[in-house]
Every structure is written in C-alpha cells, then in structure tokens.
Amino acid sequence: MKTVIAEKPSVAREIAVLLGALEKKEGYLTGNGYFVTWAFGHLVELAMPEDYGISLFEKKSLPILPDPFLLTPRREKKGSTYSADAGALKQLKIIGQLIAKSKKIIAATDAGREGELIFRYIYQYLNCSIPFERLWISSLTQKAIKQGFENLKPGIDFDCIYQAAQARSRADWLIGINASQALSIAAGGGNYSLGRVQTPTLALICKRYLENKEFSVQKYWQLQLLHTKEFIDFKSLSKNKWVDKKSAEHALKCIERNGNTAIVTSIEIKKRTEKPPLLFDLTGLQKEANKKLNFSAAETLSIAQGLYEKKFITYPRTASKYIPEDMWEEISGILRAMQKTGKWNQALIGVKWGHLNKSIVNDLRITDHHGLLITEKMPFALSSKENALYNMIALRIIEAVSQECIKEITTVSLQTLHYEFDLKGSKIIETGWRLVKGSFSDDETEAMQVLPELKEGTEFKIKNTISLEKTTLPPTLYIEAGLLSAMETATKQAEDQQECKALQNTGIGTPSTRAAVIETLFARNYIERQKKYLVPTQKGLQVYELVKDKKISDVSMTAEWEAALLKIENSKADAGDFQKEMENYAVSITDELLQTSLERINLPDLLCPKCNKEQLIITSKIVKCPNEICSWFQFRNVCGVQLSISDIESLVSTGKTPLIKAMQSKAGKKFEAYITLNNKAESSFEFEKFKLKNK
C-alpha cells in the first residue's frame, strides 16, 4: 500500500478520485492500493516552553534556547490555557496507523515552504523512516494531478526547502517567545508580543502614522488658466507657487488686466510605450483587491484558496509573476475556454490571437510556483466576492498577453506677461492592453487632456483665470495595499544604498505569510482600522516607542533574514548558521528588553489612589497597582468607551473624570456620566444634574 498525505480533506478528495481510492473511511479514503489521508494545516508544531519544564514569564528562565527543539501536536486555546487539539491527536493517530501499513509515502501537501514543513513535522513527529516521494503541482485539475503523479520526485530533492521552512519556524519561535516574554515582564504584565516580521511591520505603520500626524500643513496658491481653441477646452497651471495669497491675487489681476492672451513658448511631443502588466503573484492580487474591492489581505487569500480548491485557479500562494516556457501553450487553451463562455468577448476583442505577448514567459523568474492563472474549468455558482476576485485574475491574464499601449504625450509651456504656465495632453495611438478594462491611466488624478493642434509661437486667448488654494500633503496613512507594498519592498527603507542593492527584491515576510502578520497585529490590539486606513493603537505606539531603535524593528535587518532563508532554500547558505545567529539575537534582544520599563514610556507617573504608595501600571486594558495586597485596579474600557490617559490621570489625581459620552448600558441605551472614586478608591458613575430653566 501507498499512503498519500494531503494538506486538507478537499485536496485529498481530488487526489483520491484520480487514484481510484473511493472507499471512505474515518480520516482517509482507500482503494486501488492507496490510502489517501490529510492534515488540517499544521497538525504538529514546535513545543512551548512549558513542554521543556520552563515556567512562563519568569525573568530567570530567559532566554529560552531549546536544544533540541521538540515537536508536539497542535494545541487549542481553552480559556486562558492551551491543551492538545483532540482533532489533531485523532488525525495523527490515523496517519500513523496508515503509514505502518505502507511501503511507500507520497507527500502531497501544498507545494511550497509551509506545505513542506507541514508534512515534514508530521513525518518527524511519527518517527517515520520510510523514504517518501513528493507531489509538486500548481493546480488541482485532474490533468495537473495526473501529470504530478507521473513525475513524482524523491523527497530528498526538497530537503533545502524544508531546511528553510524549519529555520523560519525556529527563528520565529526564538525571537517571538523570548522577546514577547521579556516585553511582558518589563511591562509588569499584560499580553505583549514581538516577532521577527510583525514588529518591523508595526514599525512601518507607526512611523507613517507619526509622520502624518506631525506633518505641518502649508498653504500655497497656483493660478489656473482656462482656454478654448478649435472648440476644444483645456487648462494650464502656473509653474509658480505662491505662499502668500495676496501675491497670487496680484498676479491674477495683472493677467486679467494686461494678459488676456497666452503664447506657446515650447512644445514637446513624446511617444510613451506602456508594457502590459505581468500576471498576479499573491501580494499583487492582495494589493489590487484591497484597492479595487476593499478586501483585506487575509480575505483575499481565503477567497483565492477557496477558488483553488474548487479547481478554478492555480495555486495562489505564489511569489512569481511569470510562467515557464513549457506552459505557454496552455495560455491559448485558457483564452479559448474564456471565449466560449461569451462572458469575456468585450475584453478579448483586442487580443491578437496569432501574436500573443510572451513577456510573462521567463524560466529564470519562476519560484516555487508560476504566476496566478485561471484554469480551463470555467466557474459556476460563485459568491459575489469569489466572482469579483476571479474576474480580476482572468482579466489580468488577458491584459498580460495583449500588446503594448502606445500614447503620445504632449508637454506645453505657455507664457502670459512674465508668468509661465504648463499643461499636458495625451492621445492614444494604440490602445493595446488598456482596451481590456477601458482604463487608460493608472493614476486617476493624472492631468491628461485632449489638446488642439499647438505649435511654438501659437497665441490664443485666455477664457478665464482662477486662483487655486492648495495645501502640502502629509505622507498618506497606510491602507493594506500600501502596507503590502512596503513589506514587499522593505529594503527601499534602508538608508545604506549598498545594503539596499544587496537585498534587492527582498521584502519582509513572504507572500503567503504577510496577511497573517497583519491579522496578528490586529489580534494583539497593536493596530486598528479607521475607515480604510491602518493606524496604531495606543498600545501599538507604546511598543513602537520601546523598540524603534532596536534591530527587531529594522525592516532592512528583517529583510536580510528573509534573504538568508531564500539562500538556504537554494542551497547557498547553512540553516545551522542561521539558527545560531537567531539564538544570539534572541539573547541580545531579551537582555535589552528586560532592562526596560515599558509602562513608563510616554505615560504619566500616577500614585495608587488606594494605598498611596505604588506607581500605577497602565496598560491598554487596565490600570492597576503592582502591590498584590492593595490590588486596586480600574478597567480602561467602560461601557464600550476606552478611557484615555488624560481621563485616567484626572480620575486618579482628582477623583473624577471629565464627562464620558457615548457609553452604552446593558440594555443598549446610550448615556453619559462622570466616573468618580469614593474615599475607598471605589469607582462609580455620577450623572449630570439638569437644572430646570425658568420659563
């Protein structure tokens, strides 16, 4: 018998159909000489400190450097404690029993770093020594699965990918466990978390937020001229920017009195060739879906994974935008399948079938998987969100194989009196790939306009003159699309240009993990959404202030670690050396954090109102006295309203907060009240006394 281990039950069922293993059993399918079973994602994970007999959140226990690292079945949280996941234990037992009856194992988990880790941790935990083969596919169509089984690879061929995955797993454990525990101890309690990728990501958000908040907005004025020539209306904008409104108005009046004509002083016409976009990789899809559909990165990945498991698209967790040469013939098949539906006729109208653009073909730029494609299996019964994302992927394929868009860009300089003005115009020569969606500019604010025929020396009247009040713009707060771009191109943040060049095309995290990192920051209450923007919470800013000058928040350093993992994957670096570097850094960051007192950063020194002896500890959830005998505390969230630091300061110092509005009772009614402390430092509400007005 042969045992096939897939990553999920849905994938196992697709494989079982091809292999003829159609008899359903508990935890697996069987038939035709095969057992086809599955994991549920990570069934096995690295053991936690308590598994090594180490007490949590004890200063003397840090740093924790396991040797060797132990594996344990996946755990689930019950209340405040973790215990073994009963479902994971049961499935591991089933897999172990099947392996014991088999002479051959086939790893069929997702073909990538994490999929390799899922299988190898199960293999290692079960103490299996049977040689295994690897199924490596990018699509779940029967054709792709059949080809994959006809070309099974020896498991040893993927050892380097496993070593990189294991190194990443251990690095995240070493830094995450030690830094998080050290920070929590330094904070005097509370749930704090630091990580190899999440902390520099938090730093990106906090830095941008502070730059935006501290930006000094400056007003300035520009003049706009309105023109008409040959029945065409167009506009020009002054080169000069006035910081004084009166000066701008003076210039406007001068032009109106004496310069009711403008003359062309220079004209430049250039052709611009815009190459079609490449295929989506996962990060590109997440960015586009966030901008156009307002999907979060995690939501996009979840929907794409569902489409993959329904066999409508290829493997979504890809870092490549290209396909190999031997896949090129499949593109025509995909386009023909789209054509047959009739749904894509308008988008396909400009496709030159005999001269498809092959810019997406590049064998040297393929990573674990090729760029994202739809399959020849056309979808049915999709939800609105699935349909929107599927359409986005499908249209990108048509764009990618279409011809270049060629534009004629005209740049004109005008003069009236001694004032100079600029204008730009655009004319489409060949629509090419831009015909697919009918969008002819990436920037909706780009000031491109249709112009009449103009030549140097042409003179024409000014129809109207307008003074425009403008302001300098602060750095824009991140939306998820912008944050994903920043994570993807993290090394551009580096000040050292040589370092930046050395780490070119290396970001922080991987396409398949970036969404989870962002969700972790939400779960830790480090960031929140304000409309579509990502902003740090007070807790997030507090942590950022502590770590902003430390290596753990440095995007360049984290990108360097990612580059090292990639080298391990490509047999160009040693996993043991990388682990040693992570251990050394875990020791360093733990020592730094333990010497810091988090609760004092940017927070007032407040004496406990009950014992009048201890300085209060202020966290995002609670204000408390560190003296266990006193044990005074005050929750920060009261009836749905988060008390600010100034509210807490007023309560402790004066015994009364300002009026707290928009609180909500258990019955759902809104109310407002003061929070007060009595002589025993017990809190209660005090409601405003309304005075009757004299009639």
User: How far apart are alpha carbons 422 and 431 in whole angstroms?
Assistant: 26
User: How far apart are alpha carbons 546 and 178 in whole angstroms?
Assistant: 16
Going by the DSSP 8-state scheme, the letter that residue 602 receives in this structure is T
Beta carbons within 8 Å of 466's beta carbon, 6+ residues apart:
223, 224, 225, 226
* Angle (nearest 5°) at CA 303 between 200 and 20: 120
> Tokens standing for 249?
């108005």
Largest CA distance in the chain: 97
Q: Are strands 44-46 and 2-6 parallel, antiparallel or unpaired?
A: unpaired
HSE at residue 50, side-chain half, CA atoms within 13 A, is 6
Cβ–Cβ under 8 Å, residues 619 and 189: yes
Given 315, 322, 419, 585, the catalytic residue = 315
Q: Is the peptide bond before 63 cis (omega within 30 degrees of 0)?
A: yes
> Which helix (H) or strand (E) is 670 found in, with range?
strand 670-677
Cβ–Cβ under 8 Å, residues 561 and 196: yes
**Count, residues in the chain:** 695
Instruction: Give yes or no: 315 in active site.
Output: yes
User: How far apart are alpha carbons 363 and 324 in whole angstroms?
Assistant: 5
Intra-chain end-to-end CA distance of the chain, in Å: 95
User: How far apart are alpha carbons 372 and 314 in whole angstroms?
Assistant: 6
Cβ–Cβ under 8 Å, residues 289 and 498: no
Q: Which of 202, 81, 190 is nearest to 621 (CA)?
A: 190
The two counts, helices (H) then strands (E), for the chain are: 19, 27
> Tokens standing for 523?
């779960």
Q: Are strands 34-38 and 44-46 parallel, antiparallel or unpaired?
A: unpaired
User: How far apart are alpha carbons 200 and 517 in whole angstroms?
Assistant: 10
Q: Is the peptide bond before 68 cis (omega within 30 degrees of 0)?
A: yes
Q: What is the dihedral of CA 574, 575, 578, 584, to 10 degrees?
A: -120
Q: Which of 320, 393, 330 is nearest to 356 (CA)?
A: 330
Cβ–Cβ under 8 Å, residues 564 and 573: yes
Cα-flanking dihedrals φ and ψ of residue 686, to 5°?
A: -125, 120
Task: Catalogue the active-site residues.
Answer: 315
